[in-house]
Copies of this chain bind each other. A is one copy, B any other.
Amino acid sequence: MTEEIERARLIRGIAEAARAAARTVAKATAQHRTRGLTGISEAIYRHRAAILAANARDMAAARDAGTSAALLDRLLLDDKRITGLARAVADIAAAPEIVGRVDRTETRPNGLEIQRVRIPLGVIAMIYEARPNVTTDAAALCLKAGNACILRGGREALESNRALLAAVHDGLVTARLPPEAVQLVPMTDREAIADLVKLDELIDLCIPRGGEGLIRFVAEHARVPVIKHYKGVCHVFVHAAADAELALAIIENAKVSRPGVCNAVETVLVDRPIARKLIPRLVARLAPTVELRGDDTVCALGGDAVRPATEDDWYAEYLDLILAVRVVDGIDAAIAHIERYGSDHTESIITKDRDAGERFLREVNSSTVMVNASTRFADGGELGLGAEIGISTTRLHAYGPMGAEGLTTTKFVVRGTGQVRS
């Protein structure tokens, strides 16, 4: 019990310090925040040896614990990756300023000038798992948007995150910004998360990134608003009027270029009129590397290379070289399938028919909808947001890839000359 109280007290102390630092960061000029970001980027290069040493300790412990190769790869920092982290922060420093940006101006009939001006959210809590790059990316994006942040990374990466945080603090202090603007929760148990996300008077937003279990845990315990990203069950719909070669190239890219990420395609829907022509070519192209699971028609057309799909396959986020394929009767059936099984992440229609394309773009309300493009473009950088802090699949505040702008809100600014209301 004493331990629980002590933990809650410590976490509240972190959040109170973050709140105070957030006020300072919000009032700093853009140039001042940019100096902080440049300072962090340079400090990451300077601290390279310490970061590598800390990461080696994390890697050794993870290997001893029998961690999977995929997870070890996510945890690993090497020279090239550290350079990547420093460059990402420098890119954020160089990106256009958001805080203070005027989004709209209007003069009312009574002469009042009304503007909507971008301001920081305040304090962001970022809860994530193994990847240590989130530590510096999130710190930099929060600072860019004028916020303080509280980071709670995974247990496996604690030493790496501490070393990265030391570099971040070095950079902040060099620029005379408060180090409390970026803090790390040192406890890696879930109870610490529960304590943190209850502090709704101190924290303005929580962004969990990681497996579904983590995100559900946060959603269940939070009093603080949460931006969620459960999963990416992305679809490509090959319309009857598709260019078959273009469709195959996009499907291959969407599945094979990086199967373990959330914007990889998981289900291909094929319009019945084009199925006989397309499916044998799809099987010939993908079956050597991708496990295909199809409905009866796909199995019949695809032969032995296709396994029968079950109902679960339509819901599946494989994150692997597996693809579900289904034949549907037209665009309405494709949209109905997406509404039923989709995750509001990303869907693409392949068609030469302009009307069909526009209808799909209009009627499908996933966070990213595409015509004749690979789902792999659903990414903050590719969509022009600059760096990305996550992808939201819920509609409040941010929907789809979320960059520094998503870490701000707008206030109303009203300039008068003595107006009173009648």
Residue in B120, B219, B246, B361 whose beta carbon sits within 8 Å of that of A413 in the complex:
B361
Give this chain's copy count.
2
Question: Counting CB contacts under 8 A, is A409 at the interface?
Answer: yes
Question: Counting CB contacts under 8 A, is A80 at the interface?
Answer: no
Report the Cα distance A242→B408, complex, angstroms. Answer: 32
A87 to nearest B CB, angstroms? 19
A311 to nearest B CB, angstroms? 19
* A257 CB contacts on chain B under 8 angstroms: 420-422
Report the Cα distance A348→B384, complex, angstroms. Answer: 37
Report the Cα distance A267→B22, complex, angstroms. Answer: 25
Question: Counting CB contacts under 8 A, is A249 at the interface?
Answer: yes
Encode A115-146 as 1/0 by CB contact (under 8 A) with B.
00001111000000000000000000000000
Residue in B219, B243, B414 whose beta carbon sits within 8 Å of that of A377 in the complex:
B414
Q: Are A369 and B400 in contact (CB under 8 A)?
A: no
Question: Counting CB contacts under 8 A, is A205 at the interface?
Answer: yes
A95 to nearest B CB, angstroms? 14
A149 to nearest B CB, angstroms? 15
Residue in B114, B362, B365, B418 whose beta carbon sits within 8 Å of that of A250 in the complex:
B418
Report the Cα distance A372→B113, complex, angstroms. Answer: 11
* A residues contacting the other copy or chain, number (CB 8 A): 70
Residue in B119, B370, B419 whose beta carbon sits within 8 Å of that of A373 in the complex:
B419
Which residues 222-261 of A have a CB within 8 angstroms of B?
Answer: 223, 225, 243, 246, 249-250, 252-254, 257
Residue in B254, B366, B376, B415 whose beta carbon sits within 8 Å of that of A411 in the complex:
B366
Q: Are A418 and B246 in contact (CB under 8 A)?
A: yes
Of A45-53, A172-180, A291-299, A391-399, which stretch is located at the interface?
A391-399
* A383 CB contacts on chain B under 8 angstroms: 108, 114, 412, 414
* A400 CB contacts on chain B under 8 angstroms: 410-412
Interface class of chain A by DSSP: mixed
A228 to nearest B CB, angstroms? 9
* A377 CB contacts on chain B under 8 angstroms: 112, 414, 416, 419, 421
Residue in B249, B373, B394 whose beta carbon sits within 8 Å of that of A414 in the complex:
B373
Report the Cα distance A401→B365, complex, angstroms. Answer: 26
Q: Are A416 and B249 in contact (CB under 8 A)?
A: no
Report the Cα distance A204→B268, complex, angstroms. Answer: 28
* A365 CB contacts on chain B under 8 angstroms: 26, 119-120, 411
Question: Counting CB contacts under 8 A, is A339 at the interface?
Answer: yes
Q: Are B223 and A225 in contact (CB under 8 A)?
A: no
Question: Taking CB as reference atom, which chain B residue is nearest A371?
Answer: B415
A124 to nearest B CB, angstroms? 11
Report the Cα distance A370→B27, complex, angstroms. Answer: 18
> 17 interchain pairs (CB within 8 A)?
A108-B384, A112-B373, A204-B394, A219-B223, A348-B414, A365-B411, A370-B414, A370-B415, A370-B416, A372-B419, A373-B419, A373-B420, A374-B419, A374-B421, A377-B414, A377-B419, A399-B410
Known: A121-B396, A204-B396, A374-B416. 20 other contacts (CB 8 A): A26-B365, A27-B363, A100-B362, A114-B383, A119-B365, A204-B394, A205-B395, A225-B225, A252-B420, A253-B421, A357-B415, A361-B413, A361-B415, A367-B411, A369-B412, A372-B416, A373-B414, A373-B415, A373-B420, A382-B421
